[in-house]
A and B are shown apart, each in its own frame.
Chain A
Amino acid sequence: MRKQVFPALCLVFFAATSAFAGEALKLATTTSTYETGLLDYILPPFQEKYGVEVHIISVGTGKAIKLAENGDVDLILVHAKEAEEKLVKDGCGKARRGIMYNNFVILGPGGDPARVSKSKDVKDALRNIARMKHVFVSRGDDSGTDKKEKSLWRKAGLEPCGGWYLETGQGMSATLRIADEKNAYVMLDRATYLFNKDKIRLSPLTQDNDRDLFNPYGVIAVNPEKNPHVKYKSAVALIEWLVSPECQGMIDTYRVNGKQLFFADAIE
């Protein structure tokens, strides 16, 4: 009798838990596409059309890529082109498509003590901030934005460290909030900035046409050859939806406070 109790309990446990194990498609994405509400705008038509539910796990790009490598999600929507291409080259990712872009901006406090707006480009701006040792808040979480920011510091020939350089380890909105509370400089994608514009005091100081601040988003399916359990077909269907003229049009028309956050670029 006693011998049967444990297996029976295990059975009950797994019966109870497996009832919740979902059949939905798992999409890991960078915080900027989720927190700005874009995905909640463009995904419902897909879910209706295909009857596939999409579960969004909103993490940094670095974490999303890790999740793809481990096969814990079915596809990812991120913004770190080099890391994305490496994922495909290593055979973990498949069917990469660029779907949209916007650009990064550097925000700073009123009065612009490091004279970022007067700098000739973003590298110069970062050098000015470093020279002034004015507080700069960084994600520090290996996200797409974080990778981009670190690469810009490298391009500027600097390695930021010291009490003025703060790494939060949190999502974009949280980091922005911290920067705002501290009256600091911060770099972020335009979408997250526009979405939060009314809740902060910091203002944008960089030029929109700076090539170094270009921010392309790509979508990649997890390669079923490495992780046979992934829902590759559904993932490809979702990618096809994202690059379809209909969805691309929706991305272009998505507005927050009357501003366009993302620019579709899957169709040449």
Chain B
Amino acid sequence: MLQNVNPTDPVVYNLWHVITAVDDLTPGVPQETALLGEPLCFVLSESGEPIVWKGKIADQTSEDKNARVRAQLKYGYIWVVLGEPEFEIFDIPEYVEDGRRNMNAISVGLNTSAPRVVENFLDMAHFPFVHTDLLGEEPHTEVSEYDVDYNPEEREIWATNCWFYQPKASAASEEGVLAEYKYRVPHPFCAILYKTSPDDDTRLDAIAVLVQPLDETRVRAHLLLSVIDHQNELDKHIRLFQQTILGQDKPILENQMPRRLPLNPRAETPIRADKVSIMYRRWLRELDLHYGVIREVA
């Protein structure tokens, strides 16, 4: 049962959201999904155009002009907006850089809210405990001081100068490295991380999480990779690494209570390592976003 979109939240209603990766789609075969509590159908036309409409396939509303939803292809995904878009989809300049491999690593269902997924994506302190021997290992648990900044013109949060010891930072790494991370939050439900590329120390791999809110407490997380990797011949090896990482996060995320992200500062206990999440929660409050969060101060 889907919970309907909170009509008092025009913020999410007027944003572009991802509803599917296009890699595996067969043109002409419609499929069902949901966004913000609204059941949706989508299909790629024979010419590769995305067509998206409200309802179920059985409703046969695909030709109904009133059911049509604004849609576009970008970064290998279909993006839709249910309301009136105020902003364009954010830019990922790395996606068009030469020598990068772009792919959707995984789309996975998670029983939690979109902001909880974004916050987990922005967190380094859990690496040794959740991604043991891959992104972190005990006793190397320290999160050193890093910088967080909000850019009001771009409407983006940046966390920079983040360093963390990693035994195996990516599919292409063979030994432990002190990995540098940068985080960027250009959308309430999307975040991008940049980290030292094991194959080219002058460039950074980009990994984006694009969260599709099915409803307030159920999402699909799509992981977009734009990486420099000459070692793994097959995309599936690169994907497998990211699938492992997300598979480790899933049980943690689904055991976070409450599922909606509490914006009341007294709901949870931040530490210095959580600087970026403090900024993220403050930003969601200032955006007047209601969907997938708990705003009330008890």
Asked if A and B are interacting partners, one says: no
